[in-house]
Amino acid sequence: MLSAKSLFQEILDNDASFRLFCSIAASGEAQGGWENGRIAALVPQSQRALAPKIARHGADEDKHGRIFHALLRKRGLEPVPVPPDTDYTMLLERHGIGLAHDKLKADRPLTVDDIVTYLAHSRVTEQRASEQMRLLLGLFGDHPDIGRAVRMISHDEDNHLAYCHEELLRLAHAGHGRTIQRVLRECALAEIRIYRDVSLAVMAHMGRVLRWSRLRNALLAAGIHALYLWERVMGWRRMVTLEMPKRRDALGGPAPKAAEFA
């Protein structure tokens, strides 16, 4: 039976596919950590109160990258190069979603519009991350090897999403509402397309590693295309709504000094 549980279990049980999965995840988290770190350093003076929260966001992403590397080490595995067609974070940047890396590498302060763009982009991508981790939490939250990692990352992603909602609502009340809605819509429509392409690429690579049949590859691709069609018609709207979260000030203060995952 082809189910999310059986699919992820197969990837988890095979060293080569697990190695690829963790390498892709670690690379994306590390890239997100760098981006947030640079944004925190370049926040304009009028938004300096955001800098510690953005830095906390980046620290969480760095931690997630280390968690995936730790999962590899526990299996005696080394990371592998990430195939370019599976690099979700870089493909988003290449398609103009979020802040360009050239801008982040410069030493000029960002503008308030840049912060709006960053938060809108994060609100969309953190929706995806939160949903993905909740899926894994439901499937493997009690798993003896990866359960702790899944629980930790899922909690953080929910915090990141709550923070994006709260800060975007604050900026909307300050007069940036129209810009926020425009950027959210642009980001959401681009993200669902890139997510489809990356999902197809990841499944193609996994299929080669695990020697899936043509039928199984075709069924998985059909499922990915069906999800994209639903998101293109109506699913994207869940990524652009804003509501005050139950978790207020989710990234306020320093990151908890919990023992590093190992």
Task: Supply 87's token pair.
Answer: 């690099």
Q: Domain range holding 114?
A: 4-239
Residue 258 placed within a domain: no
Angle 177-210/214-233 helices, nearest 10 degrees?
A: 170
Residue 248 placed within a domain: no
What pLDDT, on a 0 to 100 scale, did the predictor assign at position 262? 45
Tell me the CATH number at 160.
1.20.1260.10
Residue 152 placed within a domain: yes
Sequence-distant (≥ 6) Cβ neighbours of residue 26 within 8 angstroms: 64, 65, 68, 69, 72, 79
Residue 182 placed within a domain: yes
What does each of the 262 residues of the chain score in pLDDT, given as a tens digit? 578 899 999 999 999 999 999 999 999 999 999 999 999 999 999 999 999 999 999 999 999 999 999 999 999 999 999 999 999 999 999 998 999 999 999 989 999 999 999 999 999 999 999 999 999 999 999 998 899 999 999 999 999 999 999 999 999 999 999 999 999 999 999 999 999 999 999 999 999 999 999 999 999 999 999 999 999 999 999 999 999 999 999 998 666 654 455 4
Residue 255 placed within a domain: no
Residue 17 placed within a domain: yes
User: pTM, whole model, 2 decimals?
Assistant: 0.94
Residue 247 placed within a domain: no
- Total domains, the chain: 1
Cβ atoms 191, 124 nearer than 8 A = yes
What is d(CA 113, CA 236) in angstroms, rounded to the nearest whole number? 23
What pLDDT, on a 0 to 100 scale, did the predictor assign at position 101? 94
